[in-house]
Homo-oligomer: A and B are copies of this chain.
Amino acid sequence: MFSRLFAPKVKVSAHCDLPCGVYDPAQARIEAESVKAVQEKYQANEDPDFRTRAIIIKEQRAELAKHHISVLWSDYFKPPHFEKYPELHQLINDALKAGSAAKASNDPKTGEKLLELIARIDTIFWETKKA
Q: Which residues of A contact B (CB under 8 A)?
A: 15, 17-19, 21-22, 24, 26-27, 30, 33-34, 37-38, 41, 48-57, 59, 66, 70, 73-75, 77, 82, 89-90, 93, 96-97, 99-101, 103-104, 106
Chain A binding surface, main DSSP class: helix
Q: When the two chains form their complex, are residues A100 and B75 in contact, meaning their CB atoms are under 8 A apart?
A: yes
Instruction: List B contacts of A18 (CB < 8 A).
Output: 38, 41, 50, 53-54, 57, 104
A26 to B57 alpha-carbon distance, docked (Å) = 20
Copies in the complex: 6
| Given known A-B contacts A56-B55, A106-B49, A101 and B27 have beta carbons under 8 A apart | no
Contacts of A33 in B (CB 8 A): 22
Cα-based distance from A49 to B54 in the complex (angstroms): 10
A19–B34 CB distance below 8 A: yes
Q: How distant is the Cα of A50 from the Cα of B75 in the complex, in angstroms? A: 17
